Amino acid sequence: ISVVSISGCVLTVMPQSLAWHAFWRFLTGFGAGGAMVCTFVYLIEGPRKGRRWRLIAALGLHLGWNCGQIVLVTTAYLVRGWRELQLLTHAGCLLALSLHFLVPESPRWLICQGRLEEAKQVIMQMASTNRKTVPFDVLDSL
């Protein structure tokens, strides 16, 4: 998804007409929308205590989006060139792209794909991070 956003950044800076710029921005929006949905699902499925954390994860994600809009307006005020603004606003995607290699796959997704051993490893890693133990009968039921 970050690849879509980064390529969209490069493509939005290159065109000389507003129509092509709008077209490439439209395609870049798919990357942003996909990132939002995937992040929300990962936060909901991730390690948490009780239903309260679902609300906190959802609010935290959307609060971050709103804070990002404030940063965008401030950046647009400070950086007057639209090409430079495009490059600056998409620079964060490089960080997101590097996170792809650090964040494990969702255990639910791994189970749905039939990759049970990998799902068990991710569950055990999440449990050790949270200083919890997973009952063996739960892992055996996968």
pLDDT higher than threshold 60 for residue 128: yes
84 C-beta neighbours (distance < 10 Å), count: 12
pLDDT tens-place string over residues 60-101:
877 888 888 898 899 999 998 887 887 787 777 777 777 778
CA distance 70 to 111: 39
CA distance 75 to 1: 23
pTM score, whole prediction: 0.49
- For the segment 46-59, the average pLDDT, to the nearest whole number, is 69
